[in-house]
A = this chain, B = another copy of it.
Amino acid sequence: MAGLGTHKTVETSAGQLTYIQAIQSALRDEMERDESVIVLGEDVGAKGGVFKVTDGLQKLYGETRVIDTPLAESSIVGVAIGAALNGLKPVAEIQFADFIHPAFNQIVSEAAKMRYRSNGDWNVPMVIRAPFGGGVHGALYHSQSVEAFFAHVPGLKVVIPSTPYDAKGLLISAIRDPDPVLFFEHKKAYRMIKGEVPEGEDYSVPIGRARIAREGRHMSVFAYGLMVHYCVAAAEQMEEEGHSVEVVDLRTVRPLDRGAIIASVEKTGKALVAYEANRTGAVGAEVAAIIAEECFDHLDGPVVRIGGPDVPAMPFSPPMEDFFLPDTERILGAMRRLAAY
């Protein structure tokens, strides 16, 4: 595991990087480029993070720029806010998205509202990184998808990349953004997903823009994070069955790319949203609501949602874990039914 983490691996890999390597590379490039960027969190120093995302950074940039914090998320975020107000660009790591809740008040009441409540006098250029998502035997508290809580909060931006290219490009944009950005990394994608990432060159991907992961004419499927890959796989199967499915990778869940969502549905007339979070009240509901409000004249069928079941979280035992996580099969089934509608 350690090997994968070091930036060495990043340098020697020729163009192709894993999702986690792309994130490591973005962190290192930005810390190299900008002295005001610091990293703080639990175990991010000597250990290099429980997933090794920050591996090697403390050796490179020292203990003042890579800080092992006490075990207290509210302080990680609250201190990052104060540091951001005084000129630093903190990248805070929450060890698992499931443990972001103790910092909820600092994120929602403070970071999100600082610019607004000071009428633009203050701003909080801060990134909060956290691994999320299931399928790694993490059970109830190491598998959660918590993005919906923050996608409801004006003042925050919420980014969830699905590819190494976007992971690096969006993390760079997040670090350079003058406002607080939550950056959720799918932990199952860390080593499973590989892809092209430009060497050396300084590129970034804009926050708030969706990406057409796969063009299609008969149906629009909206997803983000790991689900994008399952949706593309299902879409390819549908192609063989004679249905052309467009897969839109939202990439940012706040702000949602309304224009891209509406344009795709106006083209295809059918819409499906797939996500891993608890089905009710999630980001998928907002996507469906936008479509129901904006695309009525173009809709040829119900807006279908495939989400995680409405149970507290993903259980540990394999049969229940598999049952919880939406997969290619389940998405394919919904696509077939919607196509037949």
Chain A residues with a Cβ under 8 A of chain B = 98, 101-102, 104-105, 108-109, 112-113, 116-117, 140-141, 148-149, 151-155, 254, 256, 277-278, 280-286, 288-289, 291-294, 296, 299, 301-305, 310-313
* Inter-subunit contact B148/A152 (CB<8 Å): yes
Residues of B within 8 A of A292 (CB): 288-289, 291-292, 302-303
* Inter-subunit contact A310/B154 (CB<8 Å): yes
Q: Which of B102, B108, B153, B280 contacts A105 (CB 8 A)?
A: B102
Listed A/B pairs (5) with beta-carbon separation below 8 Å: A104-B105, A151-B280, A152-B277, A281-B281, A293-B303
Residues of B within 8 A of A256 (CB): 280
* Inter-subunit contact B288/A116 (CB<8 Å): no
Residues of B within 8 A of A312 (CB): 112-113, 116-117, 153-155
* Inter-subunit contact A152/B101 (CB<8 Å): no
What distance in Å separates the Cβ of A85 from its nearest Cβ neighbour in chain B? 17
Given the interface pairs A105-B102, A108-B101, A310-B154, the reply to whether A285 lies near B280 with Cβ below 8 Å is no
What distance in Å separates the Cβ of A88 from its nearest Cβ neighbour in chain B? 23
Top 8 nearest A-B pairs by Cβ distance?
A: A152-B281, A292-B292, A288-B289, A101-B105, A104-B104, A296-B302, A292-B303, A285-B289
Residues of B within 8 A of A284 (CB): 289
Expressed in whole angstroms, the Cα–Cα distance for A112 and B154 within the complex equals 25
The chain B residue sitting closest to A110, CB to CB, is B101
Expressed in whole angstroms, the Cα–Cα distance for A111 and B118 within the complex equals 35
Interface of A is mostly: helix
What distance in Å separates the Cβ of A10 from its nearest Cβ neighbour in chain B? 34
Q: Which of B149, B304, B310, B313 contacts A293 (CB 8 A)?
A: B304
Q: Which of B151, B289, B296 contacts A289 (CB 8 A)?
A: B289
Residues of B within 8 A of A116 (CB): 140, 311-313
Residues of B within 8 A of A296 (CB): 299, 301-303
Expressed in whole angstroms, the Cα–Cα distance for A281 and B285 within the complex equals 7
The chain B residue sitting closest to A313, CB to CB, is B113
Given the interface pairs A109-B98, A289-B305, A303-B293, the reply to whether A148 lies near B281 with Cβ below 8 Å is yes
The chain B residue sitting closest to A256, CB to CB, is B280
* Inter-subunit contact B152/A140 (CB<8 Å): no
Expressed in whole angstroms, the Cα–Cα distance for A282 and B288 within the complex equals 12
Given the interface pairs A104-B101, A140-B117, the reply to whether A153 lies near B293 with Cβ below 8 Å is no
Expressed in whole angstroms, the Cα–Cα distance for A112 and B146 within the complex equals 14
What distance in Å separates the Cβ of A256 from its nearest Cβ neighbour in chain B? 8
Residues of B within 8 A of A282 (CB): 152
* Inter-subunit contact B152/A278 (CB<8 Å): yes
Given the interface pairs A113-B140, A140-B113, the reply to whether A302 lies near B294 with Cβ below 8 Å is yes
What distance in Å separates the Cβ of A252 from its nearest Cβ neighbour in chain B? 13
Expressed in whole angstroms, the Cα–Cα distance for A282 and B285 within the complex equals 9
